[in-house]
Amino acid sequence: MQKLILATRSSPLALWQANYVAQKLQVAGFQIEIKSIETIGDKKLDVTLSKIGDKGVFTQELDKMLLDGEAHIAVHSAKDVPSHLPEGLQIIAFTDRENPCDVIVSNTESFKLENRKMLIGTSSTRRVATLRRYFPAIETVAIRGNLQTRIRKMQDGHCDALMLAYAGVFRMGYTDLIQEELDIAVFTPAVGQGCLAIEASAELNDDVKIKINMVLNHFSTSISVEAERAFLKTMEGGCSVPVFCHASFNNSTVHILGGIISLDGLEEVRKMADVKIDQNDLDSVRKVGEDLAKSVLSSNGNSILEKIKQTLHP
């Protein structure tokens, strides 16, 4: 049996994701050892992600394990993976995507965003900016930590509700707390939300990478996320920039929606497109995201982006 060392963050959700991947690889004949570590994003919970850094706050340590030969593959939430990978690393598979939408989680039954004078916990600048634009009466508070920690803080009264990704809530078994699924047309998710990315060193044996891809890669999801990541790369949006994008692939056509919103929610550029592609040509897939990003940037998106950068990094 081919032995693979799989690197992952040590949070309960990350370990769920690692074991999900490990089980699929074990069925395919691999022997799996899981190595888990805390990343800088897991350790520094007293500051917002934008103050830690824009890129790789949940992936840097796992990247180093791959480059140092301490692990063969790393399992990430795709939304955590920067659009620019360190030299020598590559994504070799994207798993089937779970429902990508944002949800409202609360102990208050029938909680709706239309309710007034409510406090929502989220550490996402994208979610905060979108709330400020479409639901200005809602107040927010930064709450970080793993999913269980954030839910406990909510239950202890730090906020009335949390805004989270459906995928994590579902995987951790908290769907009974979901009070509202949010419309993707308004609360468009972060790039890659709901999907897992499998990262490896470029030095990993090609036959092994091909076999991993055959076991784990979900074709239509991979096309969608490649287009989204190309959008993010062209936008130069890090985790602290309220950039959003979601794509789907069907019948040789990529449907893509993406944009940027100012930190105060007052300005937004949102574009969508339906593009026929050659599904065997990765460059044509990525061009869909690149072209949409260029359209956003040329329609005042660049001005919004510069203001955000000046605010976050004066």
Strand 73-77 to 2-9 pairing: parallel
Amino acid at 218: H
Which of 42, 63, 80, 102 is an active site residue? 80
Say how far apart CA 53 and CA 49 lie, in whole Å.
6
Say how far apart CA 99 and CA 62 lie, in whole Å.
26
Closest CA to 92 of 202, 231, 193, 229: 202
At residue 12, φ and ψ (nearest 5 deg) are: -55, -40
H/E element, 57: none
Q: Can you point out the beta strands (E) in the chain? A: 2-9, 30-37, 73-77, 89-94, 102-105, 119-121, 139-141, 161-165, 178-181, 196-201, 243-250, 253-261, 268-276
Q: Coil, helix or strand for 125?
A: helix
Exposed/middle/buried for residue 185 (C-beta within 10 Å: 0-12, 13-18, 19+): exposed
Say how far apart CA 152 and CA 129 lie, in whole Å.
24
Q: Coil, helix or strand for 1?
A: coil
Whether 80 is a known active-site residue: answer: yes
Residues catalogued as catalytic: 80
